[in-house]
Amino acid sequence: MTNSAEAALQPNGGVRQEAAPAAAGSGPKRTARRRVRGFKAAAKDFALGAALPAAALIAWQSASSAGLISPAFLPSPLAILRSFARLAASEQLLHHLLVSMGRAGLGFLLGAAAGLLLGLATGLFRKAQYLLDPSIQALRLVPHLALAPLIILWFGFGEASKVAIISSGAFFPLYVNTFLGIRNADNKLFEVARVLGFSPGKTVTRLVLPAALPDVLIGIRLSMAVAWIGLVVAELIGSQSGIGFLINEAKQNMETDVIFVGIAVFAMVGKLIDSLMRAVERKYLHWRDGYQG
């Protein structure tokens, strides 16, 4: 799990290899020229990367305009944009989005707080680990969305069941990463702390928690992603509001363009949350002297 998270953190770690700076005669002119060349290369990469989506969009739009694709099956990009504008103007979209974000936020807070607390407990205290960790690891094997029917039976179709579905998903990534982060703290640091005569309290706050912070932040990111996906499912299964409800209603009315709008909103908010967490990570982990890719 940690591995995959690190992988996600550095999507192209060590891939790019810029031209090595020439040792001799690097006057301002040459730097400028190199910068231009670097800019050109970046533009070329961007053009190559954009070629496929752009071509697909153009083909899609022209095929739709020519009437080759039924709009009920695949509406044209322009139609999707229009219905996005319509939904945004009627403030319906904003309302559903706020409802969804409130649910995801509350579920995330509950699940992640429980995960963090239990992760700290099992990470710091060996007794707690022996007692709790095996049970939690066994529960982790249950696909959290398989619990959805049970949770709906218990809590009904109201808000409580949605929040419970989301928090049951958000719990595990943060728990696992907090536990691992504490246990992966370098033993040499503990020896130094002993030499410096740290009290146990000081060891925990000055050594263990900072050392575990990178893993905890990864856990928070993973938990947020899982919470967001759990939200989709909770709202698809049974709800009266939220983006998932918007999508599901559109499916029943065969409004394919609205489905696309909903999917796009999910993707954008998910990306936004992820970027936000990355920014937080940069702010709090700037002391870390790691490989920057």
* Integer Cα distance of 198 and 190 in angstroms: 9
Tokens of 45: 């990469």
Helix axes 243-252, 256-284, angle to 10 degrees: 160
Shortest Å distance, C-beta 94 to other proteins: 18
Shortest Å distance, C-beta 12 to other proteins: 7
Minimum CB distance to other proteins smaller for 19 or for 146: 146
* Integer Cα distance of 63 and 78 in angstroms: 12
Minimum CB distance to other proteins smaller for 28 or for 143: 143
Minimum CB distance to other proteins smaller for 49 or for 102: 49
CB 253 within 8 A of CB 259: no
Minimum CB distance to other proteins smaller for 53 or for 201: 53
- In sequence order, which residues have a C-beta less than 8 Å from that of residue 204 and are 6 or more positions away? 124
Minimum CB distance to other proteins smaller for 31 or for 70: 70
Q: Exposed/middle/buried for 230, CB within 10 Å: 0-12, 13-18, 19+?
A: buried
- In sequence order, which residues have a C-beta less than 8 Å from that of residue 229 and are 6 or more positions away? 169
Shortest Å distance, C-beta 86 to other proteins: 19
DSSP-derived 3-state class of residue 56: helix
- In sequence order, which residues have a C-beta less than 8 Å from that of residue 9 and are 6 or more positions away? 218
Helix axes 126-140, 92-124, angle to 10 degrees: 140
Shortest Å distance, C-beta 21 to other proteins: 19
Minimum CB distance to other proteins smaller for 236 or for 284: 236
The string of DSSP letters for 88-119 reads HHTTHHHHHHHHHHHHHHHHHHHHHHHHHHHH
Minimum CB distance to other proteins smaller for 132 or for 213: 132
Which residue's entry shows tokens 């591995």? 3
CB-side exposure of 76: number of CA atoms within 13 Å? 14
Residue ranges in contact with other proteins by CB under 8 A: 3-4, 7-8, 10-15, 45, 48-53, 73-74, 126, 130-135, 138, 141-150, 152-154, 228-229, 232-233, 236-237, 244, 247-248, 250-251, 254, 256, 259-260, 262-263, 266-267, 270-271
Shortest Å distance, C-beta 291 to other proteins: 10
Shortest Å distance, C-beta 74 to other proteins: 8
Shortest Å distance, C-beta 199 to other proteins: 21
Residue 12 phi, psi (nearest 5): -130, 60
